[in-house]
Chains A and B, each alone.
Chain A
């Protein structure tokens, strides 16, 4: 397998406070990679550094070999790396369908002139966007809810919609920030199935998760962050037995 994403000695400081210290990890194409750690361990900060929302203090992030840490979020999306947010950030006052249609933005090309003249190419593209968005909604299980307002969807559906929207950008790598937080076991189960389906469809997944059971059952490999440092990385089963991890994180629950 080839390396899709590599984080190389990334440090992120806010003022004097180091949120990430020398973190390195690699995600290989085709795997489901889990990022776990206690609250405040720096997981979301790492996500933000990888997706261009934060600039790293030092270190490098490489996507398919090319450095991306200096790029803007939209450029990183364009290179095939999409994400969702821990505190769902949908376009609340747009319909579910419109939300996903926005996600097609980086893969479509209509300019102002094209939009105004509504030439054949633009019309075809627009129809394609709509079609693709409908398809994605069905794919994540929101087929009948395309016209409803995003903010009126149930919590679980909003998470699904956010995934559909991210998928619309055609990512090779999809980063999900606590995608099953607040869901009941049944919903978690269904989400797990969706993740496997995504992987089979060729999308590499990177997830931040609190639910250790889900992570262990789903992820090929796992990295554990604690106080901004990586304390373990490897296959789920190995990591689970790592004494450092048990002390830092699993110890509380196991």
Chain B
């Protein structure tokens, strides 16, 4: 039972990070019907930039409290990722908005490769470790351990999701985004600057991704030029699970996928009689993805039918 609870806690923490990254996929897909392959890499860049800033600050101002240093890292990473996403959309996606479907998908893969390899050239092939700046207080709760960092991740993630929900549902920009997702042409006729809305969508997704990137590296204690790939794939799977294009769906899908993965990794050994072990953790996301696409392509909360008439 305590294993179950522990894995549930771990899954929810990880899942809230997946949910944040999934939001970026789902928002872009909702508006452009484009799988923004490079989104995982934007998350990675966020983590790397933050770690660089943290490294510099630790050298320059060793007396600064750890939380402040990390916060500074996040605050630099956010605009960096926003600028990056803005540039990616403008250079690699916008010119291809009317091209055959395959074209933007291929440039998305290209951008992803570029970012990954640039990161490798800048930060090297080695794992970059996240310095022990944050308090390591742990609480015990019905036999499961939960750290202050885990609580902080979940609280921050929930806050961001609530903020995004307010933005999309209540603000002018949110209304413009929803209108653009329905029909770019009509939105344009109604006076919405579609290009700006699309840029804004990318930028908002990237800002959230930057935070998620720092969360992931803080949680695992390391970052790596390759980390965005798997994270991105899982987040995309989460978005599909929840119903791609649907913001609440991305949140639900992320949490659910995190829990599935954690419980799956915890119990797969027992289920298969020791044949498969916890190193198959990464496989679950794909099985979930394939199963969802086969049995409910519109996802849990999606109304749109993925199948073309």
Contacts and interface: CB of A to CB of B under 8 A. Distances in A.
Interface of A: 48, 53-54
A53 B309 CA distance: 7
Interface string B269-309: 00000000000000000000000000000000000000001
A133 to B, nearest CB: 26
A77 B228 CA distance: 48
Interface of B: 309
B293 to A, nearest CB: 20
Contacts of B309: 48, 53-54
Nearest to A54: B309
Secondary structure of the A contact surface, majority rule: loop
A177 to B, nearest CB: 15
Nearest to B100: A93
Nearest to A53: B309
A54 B309 CA distance: 8
Nearest to B303: A15
B31 to A, nearest CB: 23
A66 B309 CA distance: 24
A55 B290 CA distance: 25
A87 to B, nearest CB: 13
Nearest to B309: A53
3 contacts: A48-B309, A53-B309, A54-B309
Contacts of A53: 309
Nearest to A48: B309
A133 B300 CA distance: 47
Contacts of A54: 309
A204 to B, nearest CB: 26
B88 to A, nearest CB: 29
A54 B305 CA distance: 13
A229 B266 CA distance: 59
A21 B272 CA distance: 53
A162 B3 CA distance: 64
Closest 3 pairs between A and B when the two form their complex, measured CB to CB? A53-B309, A54-B309, A48-B309
Contacts of A48: 309
A48 B309 CA distance: 10
A7 to B, nearest CB: 20
A14 to B, nearest CB: 11
B129 to A, nearest CB: 53
